[in-house]
Chain A
């Protein structure tokens, strides 16, 4: 029998990227616990409404899709102030205890990304007891079906928020809503709103503010019933070009991971099992700098601006098609046309309620966007080593070698050194949740309220998120790229003497030289965040009742 997860015990935001399930709008709220008893009571009330991972739809074991989702997570101090015993607290990971601010050197949050420039809520966090962020609550809102989709979504969100405020008020000061999120014109808000980016006609898009399609290749792991068909390109690469779901323990505590071990987790097992860690990061996007840099380099890059924009990320901005499949504009146009007709067929099938046709069209779209490897692009001629998708999820591409006699800059798969193609990548995967925030009102300016709130989920913050951030985003040695950083997210040095650079590789068999991106500016700036623990439903009820006992 294949592995089945206890969906009723796992919070819904772990297994679902709500945005993909029809929730284009969300509000994130952060709270400070002033009174342990009242705090627990509050957690108990919220828990009654928390959205689980149970399947949506008709039929046995399924529920109707909710108008709004509610999820809750805690920082280390939050758990402590809710009375989780010290003998349990010591079982959480040291980086979770220390928090994102304390890990700034590992994460490369320096210069404009350093904590003194973060939003006030994150500046105040972990400085004084009263300003500490203890509880995170996310409210995602379902969109309407018609033209008023956004109004419906916003009403769902406002209803959810009104309910939450009411619950906070009932604690009579035992739980306090924290402000300090910067909104439009630096307004000080007591929530962080996020929403999909709209195009000029107000139609929702899957894009972030630079214009790239986001969140395509989210990992797929064992035991998630609604992801079974999405494993190609999202699970782990296996010998012979097949794919398998990743081990559950890479993303959920209390389950066996890729090393056939249980990830380190606090006692008792009921506190940690089916729970996991979440990294919340608010990232501001310097759109004007991005546009200017792309323009400037695009005028020099032999392939032109559109191809260079694709090289930054590894996917074409207009279609999302990966460069390894469509290395030039002509092949991108071909895939683009295919995607258009597939999407049209998908829409028609959805309207008709033809489930089989929906499935097959979704599968065909998925195959174009996700089902690829770097096996035929080991030298990076199509998808550069420092592009976003190759750095975040290198698949099997790190098993690279250059033997004596090979052309300089030419790499091939190292066949015998590893027992599986994903040996170097399978333990560094991250579930990515979250949505863009704000609107770009003036593309000629960097400032303003626009960026992305990214929430990453993993079983081991240090081994997964921090490793990727430190070694693959802000350093390039694993990719044989020296100290080149990932182009979009890297904490590029703006030092005149040691500016950031990255190489756009050329085919070693051609007479083309590689193109070197020089003086890469900081395109993305950290505005705050912290590390959270997302407990299981069982653990939530135990935290609320104050009955956690590791002895």
Chain B
């Protein structure tokens, strides 16, 4: 099993190189991508909340990765350091080498429910279908993305950019998103049930519990539940009202 799969959970890591250019306003493409991503914070919810089966995800722009070779520590280097007649160019030659990225990257790191077959294609198709326009807004400045205009091409593109990395977020199991949201909803509602019924006699609790089950419908995933991506208190209040 691949290292980026854990049970039914899939850890997707995408690195897409951003074109090295700038707009007429002299803003680098990578900076535009970052600005747009930061703009998502100001929206009521992240567009990613609309993408089915997303547990958690994160976007960022990677400006550079700076690597340095080990400094010369061999006997010769040390000797070179000591000897006064060694020319400066030779000394510099022994200095550590630097390595940088060739371009800036858009990084998309995501955990989703891939199911027993680790269905990456299905997830990416769902993402394209749900927020294709928003995807183009972000990936539009990446190398090679101009060719992407449908779900199949998007899947191909993303797979080319995929890195097999084990980036799993803590805070989620590998159940389908609907199961997890329903479970959280039930947990919260059950706590309220416990408060409302503590101290009552067994017969009353039993009757009330039946009413509770009828209301929350534990086995129905599309019954009363939490909406994906809803995290604001006002949204939860809204949900409560809708449930009646």
Contacts and interface: CB of A to CB of B under 8 A. Distances in A.
B236 A516 contact: no
A497 B240 contact: yes
B228 to A, nearest CB: 20
A356 interface: no
A271 to B, nearest CB: 38
Nearest to A495: B233
B199 A497 contact: no
B237 interface: yes
Contacts of B24: none
Interface in A294-308: 300, 302
Interface string B177-218: 000000000000001001100110000000000000000000
A33 B240 CA distance: 54
Interface in B216-238: 233, 236-237
Contacts of B233: 495, 497-498
Size bracket, chain B contacts: under 10
A211 interface: no
A211 B237 CA distance: 37
A302 B199 CA distance: 8
Main secondary structure of the interface of B (DSSP, over half): helix
A501 B198 contact: no
B194 A300 contact: no
A342 to B, nearest CB: 39
A513 B236 contact: no
Contact of A497 (B191, B194, B236): B236
Contacts of A501: 191, 195
A501 B191 CA distance: 10
Contacts of B199: 300, 302
B195 A516 contact: yes
A151 interface: no
Nearest to A517: B195
A501 B199 CA distance: 16
Contacts of A495: 233
A516 B194 contact: yes
A513 B195 CA distance: 11
B195 A497 contact: no
Interface string A495-523: 10110010000000000010110100000
B51 to A, nearest CB: 27
A518 B191 CA distance: 10
Contacts of B195: 501, 516, 518
Contacts of B237: 497
Contacts of A516: 191, 194-195, 198
A513 B194 CA distance: 10
B158 to A, nearest CB: 35
Given A498-B233, A501-B191, A300 B198 contact: yes
B191 to A, nearest CB: 7
A118 to B, nearest CB: 25
Nearest to A513: B198
Contacts of A497: 233, 236-237, 240
A501 B233 CA distance: 17
Interface in B71-123: none
Contacts of B191: 501, 516
B198 A515 contact: yes
A108 to B, nearest CB: 15
A520 to B, nearest CB: 11
Nearest to A300: B199
A495 B233 CA distance: 10
Contacts of A515: 198
Contacts of B194: 516
A477 to B, nearest CB: 12
Contacts of A518: 195
A302 B198 CA distance: 10
A294 B194 CA distance: 20
Nearest to B187: A482
Interface in A270-319: 300, 302
B67 to A, nearest CB: 31
Interface string A1-38: 00000000000000000000000000000000000000
Interface in A460-519: 495, 497-498, 501, 513, 515-516, 518
A499 B240 CA distance: 14
Contacts of A498: 233, 236
A483 B135 CA distance: 36
A516 B194 CA distance: 8
A515 B197 CA distance: 11
Nearest to A516: B195
A85 B233 CA distance: 46
A513 B198 CA distance: 9
A18 B198 CA distance: 45
A516 B233 CA distance: 22
Contacts of B236: 497-498
B199 to A, nearest CB: 5
A278 B199 CA distance: 45
Nearest to B194: A516
A113 to B, nearest CB: 18
A446 B109 CA distance: 52
A300 B240 CA distance: 28
Contacts of A302: 199
A276 B24 CA distance: 55
A513 B236 CA distance: 29
Contacts of B198: 300, 513, 515-516
Interface string A349-360: 000000000000
A49 B195 CA distance: 57
A419 B199 CA distance: 43
A426 to B, nearest CB: 26
Nearest to B195: A518
A515 B233 CA distance: 26
A97 B97 CA distance: 42
Nearest to B188: A498
Nearest to B240: A497
Contacts of A513: 198
A134 B236 CA distance: 44
A302 B194 CA distance: 15
B222 to A, nearest CB: 23
Given A498-B233, A516-B194, 6 more contacts: A495-B233, A497-B233, A497-B236, A497-B240, A513-B198, A516-B191
A-B residue pairs, 4 tightest by C-beta:
A518-B195, A516-B195, A497-B237, A300-B199
16 contacts: A300-B199, A302-B199, A495-B233, A497-B233, A497-B237, A497-B240, A498-B233, A501-B191, A501-B195, A513-B198, A515-B198, A516-B191, A516-B194, A516-B195, A516-B198, A518-B195
